[in-house]
C-alpha cells in the first residue's frame, strides 16, 4: 500500500509543526456513543490498522465502564474494554500506536477494572470528569498513574463553568501526576477566540510542570476542525479527532481534515481516506452523525446536545423551528 504523503506540497501555512504534537483517534470510543459501542470487530480492526498505517500516535478503543451501570449484554465490547476483547483486535499491539481507554468519573469501578499496566495492552488512561467530580477524578488519576499508565484528564463541558471555579479545578489537576489536561468543548459551543483564550489558560496552568495540554472539540457549530488547529497553533500538543468526524450528535474534528493540515511527513492521509471509503461511507447508511441544525441550536444556547439527539431519533426530526422555539422560550 502506498502510504506516502505527497512531498511537493508546501508546509502548512501559519503553523510550525512541533514534534511534541500527538494525534489521538477516538473513533471507536466517541463514535460508539451513537450505537452503544456495538461495532463489529472488523470495523474496530480496520480503524486500528488505518491508525497504524497513517502514523497516528494514539487510538482510543472505548470506555472502562462499570458493568453494574452498563450491562455487558446491552453494550458492545468497547464500553468495557476488557483485555480479552482488546487483544482479539490488537493482539499484543506490536506497533508504534499507543492504545487509550476512557474512564468516566463515577461510572468506572477503576480500582477493580483498571488492571496494572504490565497486565494490559493499554498505554494511556483518559479520565473524563465534570468540574464537580474533580475529587473523584484526582483519585482516579493517582490510581492509574500508580498502576503505571500515562494519564490524561478530560475536563468536560467547560463552556458552562464559571471562571473562578475552572481555575480552581485546573489548579487541583495540575497538582496531580496527570500527564495531559485536555480542553473539552462538550457542547460544541466555543468559538475560535474562546478556544484560544482557554488554551492559553490551560497552558499557563501546566507551565513548568512538564504536563501537556490537549484539545477535544465537537462540531455543532462546524468549528471542531478550526478550533482544533487554533489550539494546536497556540500550543496544545494532544489533538483528538475521529474518522469522518464520527461522534455523538454533531460529531468531532475529522481525522482527514486534521491530517490534511499536518503536512509534516509524519502523518499519512491516504490510509484514513481508504478506511473511510471502505467502512464509514457504508456506516453512514446505518448511523447518523455530523453537523445538523438541531446541534447548532443546542450549541447556540450552550446546552448539552442530548435534546437534539432525541429530536433526530424521532418522527419529527426535521422540525427544528419548533425545537428552536422551545429553547428560545425556556
Nearest-CA neighbor of 301 among 321, 329, 260, 282? 329
Rounded least distance, CB 226 to a copy of itself, Å: 3
C-alpha cell of residue 327: 429553547
Q: Which is nearer to a copy of itself, 124 or 243 (CB)?
A: 243
Give min distance, CB of 239 to a copy of itself, in A: 15
31 vs 62, beta carbon nearer a copy of itself: 31
Q: Distance between terminal CA atoms of the chain? A: 54
Q: Would you say 94 or 193 has its CB closer to a copy of itself?
A: 193
CB of 200 to a copy of itself, least distance (A): 12
Q: Find out whether 173 and 142 touch, Cβ atoms under 8 Å.
A: no
Q: Of the candidates 94, 111, 92, which has an alpha carbon nearest to the alpha carbon of residue 103? A: 111
For residue 223, the minimal CB distance to a copy of itself (Å) is: 6
The contact set with a copy of itself (CB under 8 A) reads 2, 6, 9, 12-15, 191-194, 197, 219, 221-227, 229-230, 233, 244, 254, 256-257, 260-261, 269-270, 273-274, 276-277, 281, 291, 293, 296, 299-301, 318-321, 324-325, 328
Of the two residues 264 and 274, which places its CB atom closer to a copy of itself in the complex? 274
Give the ranges where the chain is alpha helix by DSSP (H): 27-31, 41-54, 83-90, 110-113, 134-146, 163-174, 192-206, 224-234, 255-261, 270-275, 281-283, 293-300, 306-313, 320-329
Cβ neighbours for 211, distance < 8 A, ≥ 6 positions apart: 174, 178, 179, 180, 181
Task: In angstroms, give the least distance from the CB of 324 to a copy of itself.
Answer: 6
The nearer residue to a copy of itself, 136 or 222, going by C-beta atoms, is 222
Amino acid at each position: 500500500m502506498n502510504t506516502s504523503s505527497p512531498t511537493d506540497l508546501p508546509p502548512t501555512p501559519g503553523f510550525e509543526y512541533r514534534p511534541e504534537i500527538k494525534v489521538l483517534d477516538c473513533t471507536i470510543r466517541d463514535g460508539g456513543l451513537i450505537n452503544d459501542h456495538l461495532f463489529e470487530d472488523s470495523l474496530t480492526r480496520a480503524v486500528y490498522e488505518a491508525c497504524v498505517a497513517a502514523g497516528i500516535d494514539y487510538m482510543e478503543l472505548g470506555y472502562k465502564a462499570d458493568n453494574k451501570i452498563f450491562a455487558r449484554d446491552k453494550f458492545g465490547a468497547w464500553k468495557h474494554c476488557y483485555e480479552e476483547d482488546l487483544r482479539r483486535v490488537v493482539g499484543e499491539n506490536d506497533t508504534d500506536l499507543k492504545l487509550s481507554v476512557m474512564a468516566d468519573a463515577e461510572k468506572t469501578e477503576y480500582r477493580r477494572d483498571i488492571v496494572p499496566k504490565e497486565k494490559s495492552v493499554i498505554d494511556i488512561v483518559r479520565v473524563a470528569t465534570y468540574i464537580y467530580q474533580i475529587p473523584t477524578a484526582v483519585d482516579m488519576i493517582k490510581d492509574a498513574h500508580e498502576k503505571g499508565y500515562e494519564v490524561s484528564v478530560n475536563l468536560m463541558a467547560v463552556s458552562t463553568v464559571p471562571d473562578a471555579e475552572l481555575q480552581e479545578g485546573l489548579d487541583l489537576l495540575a497538582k496531580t501526576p496527570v500527564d495531559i489536561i485536555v480542553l473539552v468543548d462538550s457542547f460544541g459551543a466555543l468559538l475560535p477566540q474562546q478556544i484560544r483564550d482557554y488554551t492559553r489558560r490551560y497552558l499557563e496552568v501546566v507551565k513548568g510542570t512538564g504536563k501537556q495540554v490537549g484539545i477535544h472539540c465537537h462540531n455543532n457549530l462546524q468549528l471542531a476542525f478550526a478550533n482544533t488547529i487554533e489550539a494546536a497553533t497556540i500550543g496544545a500538543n494532544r489533538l483528538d479527532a475521529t474518522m469522518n468526524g464520527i461522534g455523538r450528535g454533531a460529531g468531532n474534528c475529522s481525522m482527514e481534515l486534521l491530517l490534511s493540515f499536518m503536512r509534516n511527513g509524519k502523518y499519512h492521509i491516504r490510509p484514513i481516506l481508504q478506511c473511510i471509503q471502505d467502512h464509514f461511507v457504508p456506516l453512514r447508511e446505518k448511523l447518523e452523525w455530523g453537523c445538523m441544525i438541531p446541534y447548532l441550536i443546542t450549541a447556540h444556547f450552550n446546552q448539552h446536545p442530548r435534546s437534539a439527539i432525541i429530536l433526530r431519533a424521532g418522527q419529527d426530526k426535521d422540525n427544528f423551528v419548533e425545537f428552536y422555539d422551545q429553547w428560545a422560550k425556556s
